[in-house]
């Protein structure tokens, strides 16, 4: 898929730059950027598809509310990309469909009942 | 694990939490200030220690006001912990929190929840498409990273933040295809009776008009009384057009990004999980926890202030935080009642002024009905992909409230734990049953309020 919708960057103050890997592409980002920001900067949308209907999604709120930014980060699935700061060499993968390991939520008991 | 007992534990380092910390520290209380963001500032002053845009004109002077608040956190009595998410609060005032280093418990004599607001969910057909995000999300990317949305760019919605963020993006050099104002025509009349209160805060009114003028002078196209908003996808499933109705015609605009906004609502996740009393705010169309004048809730020793107690804006949040700190200082015998009352005077005066303009803004910018109780085809629960039509059908089959629909279709059971569907589900059910929203209620929220890994849970048992 072409990188159709890269988020451009305006003139920013001095900062370190960090290289991360998004789905095999090396991407330069500012230190302090979130992993979700790195995916948007790379224009790699959709950033995931849903477990229910495989529908395409992308970060929506960037503040930890919507969980649309779930990514695989350094081998860990279902990590909230907008709440995770980049580290040099971070391996970021877009998620497709259902995951193997679901995070523990308060609702597991409901599901069984 | 940390077993220190602090005088005051504050959740949230936005204006409310930071002001409370500063004022409490001045009374020699020991404070721990926890925030899940990597740096203090909250939503309005996000990244204020290191804003990405080089040009200070882009975010404007109101943003840089946060510099003083953050500087004052540098105090021997304030322990600030970044990247720390609070996910539970026990009966004995012990907080459970996770950070990259692991989970910890933190005990304090008094607790302040200053967890702020989130943007109201804006359901409409196509709102889940990649390319659609909230105005606040775009502002976060601008403040923290200097990233701006891919273009062509359209903004749609209602409220002062929509105009502010459009202006900030314009100042950042971003071309804006159009701003679609969804404020329904009748709202201006609805707001009129509240004008006298608004006139008590002329500078804020003036700022709002200034933003409108700025966008007009920039030549940005603005459609008013927009309805029937719809995001359309290309064959890759990404946003490529925005369709809407205005001036008796249906329009389509090309768009790679669509930013939406319908105001902000209190973040009630923790206060709900604690089982505190909440009331429905008819003008603001959202829930808020019940507190007394000093911010104390029905649970003794637990306080809530700032936008998480009810939307009143950043300046009011700062003053509300000050009031909590003064009352905590009184309860812990640092101030007499008279001293507390004397010191509270300036905060109370400011707070009254900030609150006086709210009914006007709330009436003017109340979202159009279609965003509160959307069309049948619109997805309401993004996680479990449940539409408004399915919810209505469940009501027809006898479901009376959100916890029943949850059991039937899992709405609210996904990872966001109802943050993005809770308001809408209650409203759809209430409207369909023709009863007030209070009667329908809200999801039962349980702790932990964020999904945890097994490792995070295990840490606490070590
Ligand atoms: C995305 C967004 C952008 C906004 N931008 C502006 C703006 O530019 N100008 C303006 O006037 N108003 C803005 N607002 C409105 C804003 O709500 C208030 O003006 C102001 O930020 C409220 O201050 P506060 O202290 O009540 O909460 P906030 O500033 O929201 O601070 C709350 C803090 O609590 C933290 N938090 C929440 N839950 C937890 C938890 N469980 N554990 C740990 N930490 C937690 C958050 O990370 C946040 O830092 C914005 C709101 C949003 C949602
Ligand atoms: S984008 Fe909403 S939680 Fe990350």
CATH number at residue B415: 1.10.10
CB pairs under 8 A between A and B: 174
pLDDT band at A86 (very low <50, low <70, confident <90, very high): very high
Give pLDDT, residue B66. 97
Give pLDDT, residue A96. 87
In B383-442, alpha helices (H):
388-396, 402-409, 422-433, 437-440
**Beta strand pairing call for A91-93 and A76-80:** unpaired
Which element (helix H / strand E) includes B227? Answer: strand B227-233
The count of structural domains within chain B is: 3
Q: Is residue B203 part of a domain?
A: yes
B104 in the same domain as B191: no
B128 in the same domain as B111: no
| Chain centroid to CA B287 | 12
Q: Is residue A88 part of a domain?
A: yes
In chain A, whose CA is at the least distance from the CA of B447?
A106
pLDDT digits (tens, 9 = 90+) for B120-136: 999 999 999 999 999 99
pLDDT digits (tens, 9 = 90+) for B260-294: 999 999 999 999 999 999 999 999 999 999 999 99
Q: Is residue B194 part of a domain?
A: yes
At residue A5, does pLDDT exceed 90?
Answer: no
Q: Which of B226, B261, B296 is the last residue of a domain?
A: B261
User: B71 CA distance to ligand 2 centroid (A)?
Assistant: 28
- pTM, rounded to two decimals: 0.96
Mutate to test the interface with B, among A47, A61, A72, A102 (most CBs of B within 10 A): A61
Taking residue B65's Cβ as centre, other Cβ atoms within 10 Å add up to: 16
B222 in the same domain as B145: yes
Residue B215 has phi, psi (to 5 degrees) of: -70, -35
Q: Is residue A112 part of a domain?
A: no
Q: What percent of chain B has pLDDT over 90?
A: 93
Residues 6+ apart with CB under 8 A from B74: none
Give pLDDT, residue B36. 97
Q: What is the DSSP letter of B412?
A: T
pLDDT digits (tens, 9 = 90+) for B313-325: 999 999 999 999 9
B420 SS3 class: coil
Q: Torsion angle, CA of A23/A27/A33/A34, rounded to 10 degrees?
A: 0
Ligand nearest to the CA of A71: 2
pLDDT digits (tens, 9 = 90+) for B392-426: 999 999 999 999 988 888 888 899 999 999 999 99
User: A48 CA distance to ligand 2 centroid (A)?
Assistant: 12
**Interval B233-255 mean pLDDT:** 97
DSSP string of chain A, one letter each residue? -----PPPB--B-S--EEEEEETTEEEEEETT-BHHHHHHHHT----EE-TTT--EE---SSSSSS-TTEEEETTEEEEEGGGSB--TT-EEE-B-SS-SSPPB-TTHHHHH-
- For residue B145, give the nearest of A4, A37, A61 by CB distance: A37
Residues 6+ apart with CB under 8 A from B412: B381, B384, B402, B406, B418, B421, B422, B425, B443
User: A36 CA distance to ligand 2 centroid (A)?
Assistant: 8
Q: Is residue A84 part of a domain?
A: yes
B129 in the same domain as B202: yes
Q: Is residue B50 part of a domain?
A: yes
DSSP string of A68-94, one letter each residue? TTEEEETTEEEEEGGGSB--TT-EEE-
What is the rounded distance in angstroms from the CA atom of residue B232 to the CA atom of residue B127?
Answer: 9
Taking residue A27's Cβ as centre, other Cβ atoms within 10 Å add up to: 22
Q: Is residue B453 part of a domain?
A: no
B213 touches chain A (CB under 8 A): no
Contact state of A7 with B147 under an 8 Å Cβ cutoff: yes
- A96 or A68: whose pLDDT is higher? A68
What is the CATH number for B111? 3.50.50.60
Q: Is residue B455 part of a domain?
A: no
B41 touches chain A (CB under 8 A): no
Sign of dihedral through CA atoms B126, A50, B445, B300? Answer: negative
What is the CATH number for A68? 3.10.20.740
**Interval B13-29 mean pLDDT:** 98
B165 in the same domain as B243: yes
Q: Is residue B73 part of a domain?
A: yes
**Interval B434-458 mean pLDDT:** 91
B397 in the same domain as B336: no
Taking residue B382's Cβ as centre, other Cβ atoms within 10 Å add up to: 24
Which element (helix H / strand E) includes B102? Answer: strand B102-113
pLDDT band at B250 (very low <50, low <70, confident <90, very high): very high
Residues B17/B45, Cβ–Cβ less than 8 Å: no
B299 in the same domain as B386: no
Q: Which domain holds residue A51?
A: 17-95
Q: Which domain holds residue B69?
A: 6-118+265-361
For chain B, give percent helix, strand, coil, nearest 5: 40, 25, 40
B114 in the same domain as B24: yes
pLDDT digits (tens, 9 = 90+) for A12-71: 988 899 999 999 999 999 999 999 999 999 999 999 999 999 999 999 999 999 999 999
Q: Is residue B143 part of a domain?
A: yes
Contact state of A66 with B420 under an 8 Å Cβ cutoff: yes
At residue A112, does pLDDT exceed 80?
Answer: no
Give pLDDT, residue B1. 43
Q: Which of B311, B326, B361 is the last residue of a domain?
A: B361
pLDDT band at A3 (very low <50, low <70, confident <90, very high): low
Ligand nearest to the CA of B83: 1
The count of structural domains within chain A is: 1
Q: Is residue A48 part of a domain?
A: yes
pLDDT band at B83 (very low <50, low <70, confident <90, very high): very high
**Interval B230-256 mean pLDDT:** 97
Q: Nearest 5 degrees, angle CA B301-CA B307-CA B313?
A: 135
Q: Is residue A100 part of a domain?
A: no
Q: Is the peptide bond before B448 cis (omega within 30 degrees of 0)?
A: yes
| Chain centroid to CA B435 | 26
Ligand 1-lining residues (CB < 6 angstroms): A 63; B 11-17, 34-37, 42-44, 85-86, 114-119, 136, 139-140, 161, 164, 264, 267, 270, 306-308, 313-314, 317
B131 in the same domain as B232: yes
Q: Which of B361, B396, B422 is the last residue of a domain?
A: B361
Q: Which residues of A touch B173 (CB under 8 A)?
A: 10
Q: Is residue A26 part of a domain?
A: yes
User: A21 CA distance to ligand 1 centroid (A)?
Assistant: 31
Q: Is residue B392 part of a domain?
A: yes
Cα A41 to Cα B7, B43, B340, distances in angstroms: 43, 21, 50
Cα B400 to Cα B419, B421, B432, distances in angstroms: 20, 16, 10
**Interval B361-379 mean pLDDT:** 97
Q: Is residue A70 part of a domain?
A: yes
Q: Is residue A3 part of a domain?
A: no
At residue A2, does pLDDT exceed 90?
Answer: no
């Amino acid at each position: 898929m072409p990188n159709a919708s890269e988020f451009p960057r305006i003139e920013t103050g001095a900062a370190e730059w960090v290289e991360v890997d998004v789905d095999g592409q090396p991407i330069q980002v500012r230190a302090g950027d979130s992993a979700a920001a790195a995916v948007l900067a790379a224009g790699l949308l959709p950033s995931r598809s849903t477990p229910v209907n495989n529908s395409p999604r992308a970060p929506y709120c960037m503040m930890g509310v919507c969980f649309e930014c779930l990514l695989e980060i350094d081998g860990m699935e279902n990590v909230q990309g907008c709440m995770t700061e980049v580290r040099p060499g971070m391996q970021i993968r877009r998620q497709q469909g259902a995951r193997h390991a679901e995070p523990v939520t308060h609702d597991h008991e409901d599901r069984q009942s | 694990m940390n077993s220190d007992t602090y005088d005051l534990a504050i959740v949230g380092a936005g204006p409310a939490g930071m002001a409370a910390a500063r004022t409490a520290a001045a009374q020699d209380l020991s404070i721990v200030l926890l925030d899940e963001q990597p740096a203090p500032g909250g939503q309005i002053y996000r990244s204020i220690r290191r804003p990405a845009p080089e040009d200070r004109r882009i975010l404007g002077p109101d943003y840089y006001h946060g510099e003083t608040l953050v500087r004052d956190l540098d105090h021997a009595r304030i322990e600030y912990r970044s990247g720390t998410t609070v996910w539970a609060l026990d009966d004995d005032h012990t907080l459970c929190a996770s950070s990259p280093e692991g989970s910890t418990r933190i005990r304090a004599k008094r607790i302040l929840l200053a967890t702020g607001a989130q943007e109201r969910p804006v359901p409409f057909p196509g709102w889940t498409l990649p390319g659609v995000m909230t105005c606040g999300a775009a502002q976060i990317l601008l403040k923290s990273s200097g990233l701006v949305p891919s273009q062509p760019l359209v903004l749609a919605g209602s409220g002062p933040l929509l105009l502010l963020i459009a202006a900030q993006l314009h100042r950042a050099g971003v071309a804006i295809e159009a701003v679609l104002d969804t404020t329904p025509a009748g709202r201006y009349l609805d707001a009129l009776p509240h004008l006298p209160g608004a006139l008590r805060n002329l500078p804020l009114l003036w700022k709002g008009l200034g933003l409108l003028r700025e966008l007009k002078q920039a030549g940005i196209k603005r459609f008013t009384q927009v309805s029937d908003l719809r995001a359309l996808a290309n064959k890759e499933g990404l946003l490529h057009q925005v369709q809407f109705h205005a001036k008796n015609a249906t329009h389509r605009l090309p768009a790679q990004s669509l930013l939406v906004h319908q105001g902000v609502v209190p973040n009630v996740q923790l206060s709900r999980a604690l089982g505190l009393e909440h009331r429905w705010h008819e003008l603001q169309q959202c829930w808020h926890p019940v507190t007394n004048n000093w911010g104390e809730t029905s649970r003794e020793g637990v306080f809530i202030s700032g936008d998480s107690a009810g939307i009143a804006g950043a300046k009011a949040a700062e003053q509300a935080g000050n009031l909590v700190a003064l009352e905590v200082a009184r309860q812990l015998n640092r101030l007499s009642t008279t001293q507390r009352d004397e010191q509270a005077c300036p905060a109370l005066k400011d707070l009254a002024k900030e609150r006086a303009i709210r009914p006007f803004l709330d009436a003017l910018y109340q979202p159009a009905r279609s965003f509160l109780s959307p069309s049948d085809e619109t997805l309401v629960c993004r996680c479990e992909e449940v539409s408004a039509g399915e919810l209505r059908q469940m009501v027809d089959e006898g479901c009376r409230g959100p916890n029943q629909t949850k059991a039937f279709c899992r709405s609210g059971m996904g990872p966001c734990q109802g943050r993005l569907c809770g308001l809408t589900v209650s409203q759809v059910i209430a409207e369909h049953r023709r009863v007030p929203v209070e009667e329908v209620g809200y999801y039962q929220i349980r702790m932990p309020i964020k999904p945890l890994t097994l490792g995070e849970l295990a840490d606490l048992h070590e």
